[in-house]
Amino acid sequence: MPSYKAPVTDQMFVLHDVLKIAETDIPGYEDLDRDTTAAILDEAAKLAENVLAPLNPVGDTEGCKLENGVVRTPKGFLEAFDQMREGGWTALDCDPEYGGQGLPYVVATAVGEQFSAANMAFNMYPGLTHGAYSAIHAHGSDEQKATFLPKMVTCEWTGTMNLTEPHCGTDLGLMRTKAVPQDDGSYKITGQKIFISAGDHDMSENVIHLVLAKIPGGPEGIKGVSLFIVPKFLVNADGSLGARNAVSVGKIEEKMGIHGNSTCVMNYDEATGYLIGEAHKGMRAMFTMMNEARLGVGLQGYAQADVAFQNALEYAKDRLQGRDVTGTKNPDGPADPLIVHPDIRRNLMDQKSFVEGARAFVYWGAQMIDRAHKKNDADADGLISLLTPVIKGFLTDRGFECATNAQQVYGGHGYIEEWGMSQFARDARIAMIYEGANGVQALDLVGRKLAQDGGKHVMAFFDMVKTFIAENKGQDDEFDAAFLEPLKAASKDLQTAGMYFMAEGMKNPNNALSGSYDFMHLFGHVCLGLMWSRMALAAKAKLAEGGGDTAFYETKIATGRYYMARSLPMTATHLSRIQSGADTVMALDAANF
């Protein structure tokens, strides 16, 4: 059975030594001294390691069942959810006005990583609730907030997001679900929504559905979409639960993974709903929380890679197979452990260097979100908007790849469900699809984010990398050669690609769009190259200080060197592909494929 160990030491390093959260001028960060952060992460780790992780294979094996209209979650999920609620873990970064603890989002992100790594399917129940909370918090009326938020902060009521319909996922303008206005100001919602994660279950008193629907007579397409609150049970004026609303579960989907989460077809049959924000502005309401939601999915990608890596590493240390070609390492045993073999190490180092780089990238992104929200910093908001599709697309693609590679370390046992490695890969697979499939992320990046505000944010990114290199070079030849030079080369590839898009995309947008996926990955490598350079710098500083965990800092630098030497060269291939343009991509008639 696989296990999970929360990476608190590394989380602390990223938060306090790299991002230096305790020294940042973002409101709310002033309380984050090392002891406070460590106490939170250590306490979260107990829940993640001892409660959520052991339930992960249970959720996978049992799955969710629809019995007489009621969704039954796997054995032990309710008790675990109660522990999570009682521990206040669902309220970490929520608004104190509604019962939240008001901690920075970056801390909630670090905790969320632990929970998601330990049990991705489980953590989607509070995760979706948090998304619905954020939408109501940002766009709901005071009355709506007062009615729904306190119960959602505690997860006594959970939440869902209802966007997709059978015939439309990405293209929500095709939506058919209708919202007919009633005399009392409410709406009657009718339609079918699919792929509704945590759509229904037996772990909360009420489920608060956020539903996108069209008000008849409104604008055509995406501009006619509005957002509604549709509670499973209507809420009386005194806050008590009232009548059952006309929303029901059509079925639970059989999926490749995340079996512990109930992915429902939801049927709305003149269900009572309440408009959030303005009519026809539903997409805008959804978009305001998209950075956060997509960052959360990018987090899922590397979190699954991390737990898979941890188990692959243990297996590689334990499993005796073959001998080190440079000399026996375990002369008293029948064979050497797998980890002596260079190709096993190559695989493990790929995983390790990705996971740690991704962690820094996501926490940095979370810090930007805090800066944008808590300081109304438009530059931070612009930069995180630019980087969001990279975080989502790159980290989930590579996260799945790493989980698959971790499975490979187990040989045949990796394919047997009992050993647990298959689940990590199967669960990680969804992150590439939901919350906007990765191809859509690439389109968002190249088709929208690059040119946003006149290209200001991507220029700011390049300036930041340039400044970082200029400020740090010339002090340590080894650091320059191992980190700054590859970072500079990769960043140059990214700029060249961007210039190619500007020049050739003008002539034909397909020249840019044909390279969008490669650009997203190219950008991801540059970001991880930047994070590794920052981490190596921080580790060097700690080593210079002396007295700390020397092995940890040296390992950090060595892992960074691996990423720079072995992963960053990928930017050259991405650039070549991008520069080959649209000709070969668009050459065939659809009929000739």
Q: Segment near its own copies (CB under 8 A), from 62-70, 153-161, 426-434, 468-476?
A: 426-434
Binding positions for its own copies, 180-239, rule CB under 8 A: 194-195
- Cβ nearer to its own copies, comparing 212 with 339: 339
User: The tokens of 538 are what?
Assistant: 């921080």
428 near its own copies (CB under 8 A): no
Contact residue for its own copies among 217, 412, 454, 546 (CB under 8 A): 412
DSSP collapsed to 3 states, 324-380 = CCCCCCCCCCCCCEHHHCHHHHHHHHHHHHHHHHHHHHHHHHHHHHHHHHHHCCHHH
User: Which single residue is written with the structure tokens 């990238």?
Assistant: 361
Binding positions for its own copies, 104-163, rule CB under 8 A: none
452 near its own copies (CB under 8 A): no
- Cβ nearer to its own copies, comparing 234 with 570: 570
307 near its own copies (CB under 8 A): no
Binding positions for its own copies, 332-351, rule CB under 8 A: 334-335, 337, 339-349
- Cβ nearer to its own copies, comparing 74 with 277: 74
Active site annotation includes 79: no
8 near its own copies (CB under 8 A): no
328 near its own copies (CB under 8 A): no
Sign of CA dihedral 29, 33, 34, 35: negative
510 near its own copies (CB under 8 A): yes
Report the interhelical angle of 120-139 vs 290-318 (nearest 10°). 160
Minimum distance from residue 175 beta carbon to its own copies (Å): 11
Minimum distance from residue 525 beta carbon to its own copies (Å): 11
- Cβ nearer to its own copies, comparing 81 with 563: 563
Contact residue for its own copies among 1, 39, 146, 174 (CB under 8 A): 174
Report the interhelical angle of 378-409 vs 421-431 (nearest 10°). 150
Any residues with CB less than 8 A from the CB of 72 and at least 6 apart, and which? Answer: 64, 65, 66, 201, 202
434 near its own copies (CB under 8 A): yes
480 near its own copies (CB under 8 A): no
DSSP 190: E
Whether 124 and 84 have beta carbons less than 8 Å apart is answered as: no
Contact residue for its own copies among 42, 79, 278, 417 (CB under 8 A): 417
- Cβ nearer to its own copies, comparing 96 with 411: 411
Q: What is the C-alpha to C-alpha distance for residues 326 and 360, in angstroms, rounded to an integer? A: 35
**Closest-CA residue to 310 (of 342, 356, 341):** 356
Minimum distance from residue 484 beta carbon to its own copies (Å): 16
Return the ∠ at Cα 88 (arms to 66 and 375), rounded to 5°. 110
**Other beta carbons less than 10 A from residue 118's beta carbon:** 27
437 near its own copies (CB under 8 A): yes
Contact residue for its own copies among 322, 452, 470, 503 (CB under 8 A): 322
65 near its own copies (CB under 8 A): no
- Cβ nearer to its own copies, comparing 264 with 368: 264
416 near its own copies (CB under 8 A): yes
Any residues with CB less than 8 A from the CB of 214 and at least 6 apart, and which? Answer: 175, 176, 177, 178, 179, 224, 225, 226
400 near its own copies (CB under 8 A): yes
Residues 526-565, one symbol each (x = binds its own copies by CB under 8 A, - = not), give -------------------------xx-xx--xx-xx--x
Any residues with CB less than 8 A from the CB of 506 and at least 6 apart, and which? Answer: none
Minimum distance from residue 240 beta carbon to its own copies (Å): 36
Query: What's the full length of the chain, in residues?
Result: 593
Minimum distance from residue 146 beta carbon to its own copies (Å): 34
Whether 1 and 49 have beta carbons less than 8 Å apart is answered as: no
Residues 350-379, one symbol each (x = binds its own copies by CB under 8 A, - = not), give --x---------------------------
Alpha helices (H) along 77-171: 77-86, 105-118, 120-139, 142-153
Contact residue for its own copies among 158, 404, 495, 533 (CB under 8 A): 404
- Cβ nearer to its own copies, comparing 17 with 93: 17
Minimum distance from residue 264 beta carbon to its own copies (Å): 12
List the catalytic residue out of 113, 292, 435, 504.
435
34 near its own copies (CB under 8 A): no
576 near its own copies (CB under 8 A): yes
| Residues paired with residue 228 on neighbouring β-strands, in sequence order | 211, 275
- Cβ nearer to its own copies, comparing 320 with 464: 320
- Cβ nearer to its own copies, comparing 44 with 194: 194
- Cβ nearer to its own copies, comparing 219 with 322: 322
Contact residue for its own copies among 1, 146, 256, 541 (CB under 8 A): 256
171 near its own copies (CB under 8 A): yes
Return the ∠ at Cα 288 (arms to 284 and 292), rounded to 5°. 145
Which uninterrupted H or E stretch holds 571? helix 570-579
Contact residue for its own copies among 42, 46, 75, 415 (CB under 8 A): 415
User: Which single residue is written with the structure tokens 């200001």?
Assistant: 456
DSSP collapsed to 3 states, 459-520 = HHHHHHHHHHHHHHCCCCHHHHHHHHHHHHHHHHHHHHHHHHHHHHHHHCHHHHHCCHHHHH
Strands 178-181 and 187-197 turn out to be: antiparallel
Q: Segment near its own copies (CB under 8 A), from 90-98, 154-162, 239-247, 319-327?
A: 319-327
Minimum distance from residue 387 beta carbon to its own copies (Å): 19
Q: What is the C-alpha to C-alpha distance for residues 87 and 184, in angstroms, rounded to an integer? A: 39
> What is the rounded (10 degree) CA torsion for 485, 490, 495, 496?
110
Q: How many residues bind its own copies (CB under 8 A)?
A: 95
Q: What is the C-alpha to C-alpha distance for residues 400 and 408, in angstroms, rounded to an integer? A: 12
Catalytic residues: 435
